[in-house]
Structure 1
Amino acid sequence: MKPLKCLRAALRLLIMLVLSSQALFAQIPLAVDAFNHKLTATPQSQLLDVRTPGEYAQGHLAQSHNFDIKDPVFVQKLATLDKDKPVYVYCLSGGRSGQAAKLLVQNGFKEVYDMQGGFLKWSSANMPFEKDEKAVSEPTGMSQEAFQKLIASDKPVLIDFFAKWCAPCQKMLPTIHKLTEEYKGKAIIETIDYDKNKALAQSLQVDEIPVFLLYKKGKLLWRGIGLMPEKEFRTVIEENM
């Protein structure tokens, strides 16, 4: 009986490995340039933007479908696409498109390309896009003048660009809040909502979030991206106090 049990276990493991390798092959991450090249070279491509309708209206790739991944009927909407044709998917920075790509593979789509860095990378690379001219303008947020005044301080100024929908941003917020209290009076730590400050973010070449910028007397001294250890923030702040 033991050899039979071992054989069954080995078969289950083999099946899992095969399915896993198939899923990895079907879900292919591509940098912006490669994504654009392959999309252009694919005559019957299906292009999917998984952001909110509001984000889509502010700017999107031409001929893209807008299926908000947060929509309760997102999976049902996927059924309107052809599973035998390639699907190209993107969001703002890559997090939501990664989730969507997995769902596409799980629902039987054979070839899924996920744009790494999303619309942030696409637009910062000056790639073409369209927008709804009737879309309501978003709040301007912090002005350039206010930002320049903020970073002109002779104390270290740590800027955190975040978004409410960005999971890594939310994971970093407790650390940022802790540091804000700890360095009160010694350093300035400011969180800036990307969605409300897109013009400012673009002027600072912010094409990924979360991004952290450390200034002193108006000069950019350090830049960090993504999930970062608390220790690194402490080091860079204290080195510039």
Structure 2
Amino acid sequence: MKSIFTFLFLGLTAACFAQSPVLLTTDRADSLLKAMPAIQLLDVRTAGEYANGHLSHSTNIDVRDEAFLAKVKQLDPNKPVLVYCLAGSRSAKAAGLMASAGFKSVYDMQGGFAKWTAANKPVEGGKEAPAGAMTPEAFQKLTASAKPVLIDFYAPWCAPCQKMLPTVNKLKAELADKVTIVTIDYDKNRQLAQQLGVDEIPTFLMYKESKIKWRGIGYMDEAMFRKTIDEYK
């Protein structure tokens, strides 16, 4: 009962001011969905990501679609809506656009689908591994190497990932005799990422003989990335 009153208060507050989406952690978002089962739930990832798994009863509208604002008009701007993406950046953009467009009560789930699945919360779809996904056996064989292996979990739509990609490819070729650098598409390897506790991208994992030596998250410039590889390889 307390959680219901808490979310009603948050909803009324958002409705009164209307301009600022309410940020929620994964657990708070889960509580909101349980307290308000009729809330509008919007997944702003790509159709492919949505097909690989999503929250139950969610509507999928890609925030990168030029017609995004026109398409979200199918939702009721006077009723609460919870928005999520994979990691949080796209949902933040979508929530801001919707608040500016007149949606009165917008909630933004921080950490997105990645943190939701990492917390073993329920999802629909995505039970079959997408084509091109790395099997656990292949991953174990790869990381068992005596030569250090650096795993880069990335996504084609992730701006920091794409910004780092030229550096990753440059060092992959330059340091090939010292370290094996492998890029893994998060969207195609969500189950593997979940098993490894990867819920943000880019995430870097350094292995040697099946043991993890280093874990890094987020954008790094070439100097820092090179220094880190030299330190742990």
TM-score (norm 2): 0.84
2:230 alignment partner AA: E
Aligned mates of 2:207, 2:188 — CA distance in 1: 21
Aligned residues: 218
2:167 alignment partner AA: T
Instruction: Determine which of 49, 58, 80 is the counterpart of 1:64.
Output: 58
Aligned mates of 1:89, 1:173 — CA distance in 2: 28
* Residue 131 of structure 1: aligned partner: 125
Asked if 1:240 is matched to 2:194, the reply is no
* Residue 86 of structure 2: aligned partner: 92
Please provide the CA RMSD for this pair. Answer: 2.3
Aligned mates of 1:157, 1:71 — CA distance in 2: 37
* Residue 34 of structure 1: aligned partner: 28
Q: 2:87, 2:201 within 8 Å by CA — same for their partners in 1?
A: yes
* Residue 179 of structure 1: aligned partner: 171
Aligned mates of 1:107, 1:43 — CA distance in 2: 24
Asked if 1:207 is matched to 2:208, the reply is no
Cα 1:23–1:218 change in 2 (3 A) is farther
Structure 1 moving runs of 4+ over 3 Å: 22-25
Mark the runs of 5 or more structure 1 residues left unpaired by the alignment.
1-21
Aligned mates of 2:17, 2:158 — CA distance in 1: 25
Q: 2:117, 2:194 within 8 Å by CA — same for their partners in 1?
A: no
* Residue 73 of structure 1: aligned partner: 67
* Residue 151 of structure 2: aligned partner: 159
Provide, for residues 140-186 of structure 1, a one-character-per-residue CA deviation record: whole Å limited to 9, x for no partner: 52222222222222222111011111112111112212221331211
Aligned mates of 1:183, 1:140 — CA distance in 2: 25
* Residue 215 of structure 2: aligned partner: 223
Question: Percent of pairs identical after alignment?
Answer: 56
Asked if 1:52 is matched to 2:46, the reply is yes
Cα 1:181–1:49 change in 2 (3 A) is same
Provide, for residues 179-201 of structure 1, a one-character-per-residue CA deviation record: whole Å limited to 9, x for no partner: 21331211111111122222322
Secondary structure at 1:79 match in 2: helix
Larger Rg: 1
Aligned mates of 1:227, 1:88 — CA distance in 2: 28
Provide, for residues 51-94 of structure 1, a one-character-per-residue CA deviation record: whole Å limited to 9, x for no partner: 22332233221221111223332211222222222210001221
Mark the runs of 5 or more structure 2 residues left unpaired by the alignment.
1-15
